[in-house]
C-alpha cells in the first residue's frame, strides 16, 4: 500500500514540476520575444 502511495506522490510531483518548467519556459520565451521586438523597432 505504501508503494502505491509513493508512486502517486511521485506522479503528482513529476506532473507539477513539468507544469512549472513549462510555465517558466513560456515566460522566458515571452520575455525574449519582447526584447527582440524592442530591438527591431
Q: Which single residue is written with the C-alpha cell 506532473? A: 15
The pLDDT assigned to 39 comes to 85
Compute the distance between CA of residue 22 and CA of residue 14 in angstroms, rounded to an integer.
Answer: 12
Compute the distance between CA of residue 14 and CA of residue 3 in angstroms, rounded to an integer.
Answer: 16
Q: What is the pTM of this model?
A: 0.60
pLDDT (tens, 9 = 90+) of the chain, 41 residues, equals 789 999 999 999 999 999 999 999 999 999 999 999 988 77
The pLDDT assigned to 13 comes to 96
The pLDDT assigned to 2 comes to 85
**DSSP secondary-structure letter at 32?**
H
Phi-psi map region of 10: left, alpha, beta (phi>0 left; psi -120 to 50 alpha): alpha
Compute the distance between CA of residue 4 and CA of residue 27 in angstroms, rounded to an integer.
Answer: 35
Amino acid at each position: 500500500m505504501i508503494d502505491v502511495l509513493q508512486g502517486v506522490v511521485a506522479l503528482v510531483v513529476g506532473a507539477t514540476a513539468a507544469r512549472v518548467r513549462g510555465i517558466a519556459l513560456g515566460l522566458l520565451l515571452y520575455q525574449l520575444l519582447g526584447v527582440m521586438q524592442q530591438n527591431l523597432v
